[in-house]
Structure 1
Amino acid sequence: MLADFVSSSEKLCQFAIQLLLDPATGAVNFVKSLPFRDCDVQINMLVVDLQGGDRVACDLVSERPDWDIDDEGLLRLALQHHGIRLVEIDYADIDAEPRASNCAFIWSHRDHPVPVSIEKAINRALTAHQGLTIRSLSTLIGLRDPKPEISALVCQGVVMTDLSVKFGPNAIIHKTSDPCRARNLLRRTSNRFGKTVS
């Protein structure tokens, strides 16, 4: 989803990872420019497609240079033309806990090998119970600490969790394919995109 995304900004990369792991996110792209009227308008923002069809451009205000009134107006018109809502994100949003620590931990295990037998056991347990705490899941599959395996599966999009809740024994894990749970998680997590720029 972010194959062409390269940034020297550690914070922007951290935020991109948070977006990729968020259950409310359908896709994330770094958009350099958008066609509008007879020109390409420079955007240089992460654009997020949320579950449900909403599109959001994330303006990292802590790093961007000041806009002059003409550039800002043109950018807003281009985004509006393409049906993209503009929201402001700052370092405080990116560093908010427990999401920041949760995402860092989960992402650090993205390449952790998950044996097929463990993945199948997790899938069976979540199918039978439609959401389990990590503690309960650990007991059911017979693995003392399944957080690395769960993290890898979150990165693969197989399971999901509410990233605004500490990723510990009481965190609840759901199958990504459970549409009811996905809608519930969307309602909770979509609030982080609430700072719409008017």
Structure 2
Amino acid sequence: MSDSRLPRRFDLFTSAKTACAIRARHPALHEALVQATLDPSVRSIGYQAKAIVGAAEVTIDAVIMQQDEGRYLLDVVPARQLRDLEQEGLVRLAVRELELQVKTVTMEELRAQPRRGNCAFVWSYKERAVPVGIRMRVLQALRDDGPMELGRLLEGLHADRDPAPAVMSMACNDLIEIDLASHRLGPGSMVRART
């Protein structure tokens, strides 16, 4: 018999950038977490359930992203929890005391193309195993030649099988960056090693 209070397994989001499993209680939050994972400016994604405000413990249920510019609370509009005015005020105080900036993401931003389609496509390869030989060749090529177009990278790998799934998996595993926001994913998409 299962306990309905426990999160279902598919509600838990993990990636190479998450410090722990994050309960993605809403599909929009899950999508925002996928897009954040594939965003080169996001270094890590964490979760904080509670914070202390004055002498009170406050439930903040916060997804926190470490980006190049600082720490952000991920505020996904369609996934917001309903709070009364007092709770909302305490959460805002906690966010201020934690010195978090707020990154608000609307449904329109989540649906924006080409990023949404590109992220969904790349993320579909997250579980794909990457042979060590291909991993080493990809990383060596990007180290030696710097950022390059995806088509050029794939042509230079000389693999027995199509190396594209392995490259997509490497992006999911935070080993490389692919520009997923500028254009529809294709031969001209820029790829670079993670720094």
TM-score normalised by the shorter chain: which range applies? Answer: 0.7 to 0.9
Which residue, 21, 25, 39 being the options, matches 2:56? 39
Aligned counterpart in structure 1 of residue 108 of structure 2, from 67, 89, 92: 92
| Residue 187 of structure 2, aligned match among 164, 169, 189 | 169
> What CA distance in whole angstroms lies between the structure 2 residues aligned with 1:73 and 1:8?
22
Query: How well do the aligned residues superpose, as a CA RMSD in angstroms?
Result: 1.9
TM-score, structure 1 normalization: 0.80
- TM-score relative to the length of structure 2: 0.81
Aligned-residue identity in percent: 24
The Cα offsets for residues 137-180 of structure 1, whole Å up to 9 and x where unpaired, read as 12211258533111111112211122213221110110113xxx
1:125 to 141, 147, 167: 141
1:4 aligns with 2:21: yes
1:1-198 aligned at under 5 Å gives the runs 1=18, 3-52=20-69, 54-143=70-159, 145-165=162-182, 166-177=184-195
**Runs (5+) with no aligned partner, structure 1:** 178-198
Which structure shows the higher helix fraction?
Answer: 1
Moved over 6 A (4+): none
- Does the 8 Å contact 1:27/1:50 carry over to 2? yes
In structure 2, distance between residues paired with 1:18 and 1:126 = 23
Instruction: Name the SS of the counterpart of 2:35 in structure 1.
Output: helix
Aligned residues: 176
Amino acid at match of 2:79: E
Deviation at 1:31, TM superposition (A): 2.4
For 1:89 and 1:120, the matched residues in 2 are separated by 36
Structure 2 gaps, min length 5: 1-17
Q: CA deviation at 1:113?
A: 2.1
- Distance in 2 between residues matched to 1:157 and 1:64, nearest whole Å: 28
